[in-house]
Chains A and B, each alone.
Chain A
Amino acid sequence: MTQLAAYSTSTGEAVQFWVLGTVAVIGALCTVFMKRAVHSALCLAGTMIILAVFYLANGAYFLGIVQIVVYTGAIMMLFLFVVMLVGVTAADSLKETIKGQRWLALLCGLGFGILLIAGIGNASLTQFDGLAQANAGGNVEGLAQLLFTKYVFAFELTGALLITASVGAMVLTHRERTERAKTQRELAEQRVREGKHLPPLPAPGVYARHNAVDIAGLLPDGTPSELTVNRTLRERGQIRDVSAEALKDLKALEQRSEARLERTRSGEASK
């Protein structure tokens, strides 16, 4: 039984592999092909959680937990923060700068994948020992023993790396204010000098029933005014336009009144 288990995995693990492996590949494909960066990030987080399950199934208990805590917990949340900071205008441009680059890239990817998978298929991977012996004293204990003896120098270097990275991040994102902040009076004077919008910006919303902030107010001639909507919503393209709806309502009202007039007219005729 142990001899058999040494060369192949249990049926339960096979079922888990095929089900979760499919989901992981779909998640990876969604990461690449989703239009919005937030959706990509969420798909990637799902793939990483599935990889954590695979680590646990492979006997890497410590790495499985670290994968969830560090990758999906910290790194992906950092990604989501940056998507929130940057993503307002970060729509992917669909214009190709190099002609046919997408198809060439797909072709390269396909060729690379075939090479890689054929390479694995040709390798003689007959050895399969399992981690039962290595994990006998506990997975974390075994890792710690290796980490603090054989790999202790690399481990110390990672400390230096982490310090450098955190200092680097602070230096890169820190911005020194080079000029004095403008006072309210100076801002008001500048506004008068420019002479574009002396009064406050107009409020969004149309009539009493459309007073949501994402609906542009209508000008006297029925066209929506972009000025009334918040700049962030404008850049995201999340403005709802009700001008067409208002015109349609008006037309419907006219038709209804006509129909009513006709009815009264026909009523008079019958009298």
Chain B
Amino acid sequence: MNPVNYLYLAALLFTIGASGVLIRRNAIVVFMCVELMLNACNLALVAFSRMHGNLDGQIIAFFTMVVAAAEVVVGLAIIVSLFRSRHSASVDDASLMKL
């Protein structure tokens, strides 16, 4: 098997995640799709790291994970506070910054 296949899989997962962000309305599911896209990027970075025989790609994937963790914490806090003020987790309802 050619290791380029990992890149094709990563592209496929990224595309599925991107379509999910466009299709779904529930803010939590949209957020999960963003996570899926980040993970697909990580897979591509790890595959590149193996192709080029150095560990830089893995380091960048590691940083992506840290940033994703921070992003999830803030994003979920925003979803919870939006839900408190609007009683809905739909992205359509949150079209205004104010109440």
On A, residues with C-beta under 8 Å from B are 8-9, 11, 13-14, 17, 21, 24-25, 28-29, 31-32, 37, 40-41, 44, 47-48, 51, 54-55, 58-60, 62-63, 66-67, 70-71, 74-75, 78-79, 82-83, 85-87, 89-90, 92-93, 97, 101-102, 105-106, 108-110, 112-113, 116-117, 120, 125, 127-131, 133-135, 139, 142-143, 146-147, 150-151, 154, 158, 161-162, 164-166, 168-169, 172-173, 175
Q: How far is the CB of B48 from chain A (nearest CB, A)?
A: 9
Interface residues of B in 2-44 (CB under 8 A from A): 2-9, 11-20, 22-26, 28-29, 31-33, 35-36, 39, 42-43
Given A29-B16, A40-B29, A133-B53 contact (CB < 8 Å): yes
The 9 A-B residue pairs with the shortest CB-CB distance, nearest first, are A129-B53, A109-B19, A113-B15, A105-B22, A14-B1, A165-B70, A32-B20, A172-B77, A90-B89
CB atoms of B19 and A143 under 8 A apart: no
Q: Known contacts A70-B65, A133-B53, A168-B77; is A48 also within 8 Å of B16 by CB?
A: no
Q: Which residue of A lies closest to B37 (CB)?
A: A28
If over half of A's interface residues share one DSSP class (helix, strand or loop), that class is named, otherwise mixed; here it is helix
- Would you call B63 and A154 a contact (CB within 8 A)? yes
Residues of B within 8 A of A (CB): 1-9, 11-20, 22-26, 28-29, 31-33, 35-36, 39, 42-43, 46-47, 49-56, 58-59, 61-63, 65-74, 76-81, 83-84, 87-90, 92
Q: A93-B25, A105-B22 are in contact. Are A131 and B53 (CB under 8 A)?
A: yes
CB-nearest residue of chain B relative to A106? Answer: B19
Question: Which residues does chain B contribute within 8 Å of A70, judged by CB atoms?
Answer: 65, 69
Kindly list chain B residues whose C-beta atoms are within 8 Å of the C-beta of A90: 26, 28, 83, 88-90
Least CB distance from B20 to A in Å reads 4
Assess the B70–A162 pair: CB atoms within 8 A: yes
Contact A175-B67, Cβ < 8 Å, known A109-B18, A165-B73: no
Of chain A, the residue at the smallest CB distance from B44 is A120
Collect the chain B residues with CB atoms within 8 Å of residue A59's CB. Answer: 49-50
> Is B8 a contact partner of A173 (Cβ separation < 8 A)?
no
A60-B65 contact, Cβ under 8 Å, with A25-B12, A117-B11, A131-B50: no
8 contacts between A and B (CB under 8 A): A51-B42, A51-B43, A75-B35, A85-B80, A85-B83, A89-B87, A130-B50, A165-B69
